[in-house]
Amino acid sequence: MHAGTIIVLDKAGKNPGAGMRRGTVILVKKPAHITATFKSNGNLKIQFLRLLFTQLSNMGKEFSIFKKFGPEAHRFSGDLARNGKGEILILQTLDLNKVA
């Protein structure tokens, strides 16, 4: 991947993001394996995700799945073998019982 954003709503393939230079891969489900050339940055609140998912969920019923995701994600930066300017974000679902 050279740049851009990809959202994977189901299971990702083997080594997601391997070889990417820049860009973002957003995963709904935790992959079985992330290559060692990605560095974990921990759980973060990324407010851009809230804006992105609000816009996507307003596009129609087929995009309503995005209402269950908020700004929290586990971030991995990499691919360190290819400049390390990309990222993988593994989403955390909102606990709708806690949302006011």
Q: Residue 37 domain-assigned? A: yes
Q: Residue 29 domain-assigned? A: yes
Residue 70: give the domain boundaries: 5-93
How many domains are contained in the chain? 1
Q: Is the pTM of this model over 0.85?
A: yes
Q: Residue 99 domain-assigned? A: no
Q: Residue 33 domain-assigned? A: yes
The whole-angstrom separation of Cα 83 and Cα 76 is: 14
What average pLDDT does the segment 19-38 reach?
A: 94
Of the candidates 53, 42, 5, 49, the one whose C-alpha atom is nearest the C-alpha of residue 17 is 5
- Each residue of 31-80: pLDDT tens digit? 999 999 999 999 999 999 999 999 999 999 999 988 888 899 999 999 99
CB 72 within 8 A of CB 90: no
Q: Residue 75 domain-assigned? A: yes
| pLDDT at residue 96 greater than cutoff 90 | no
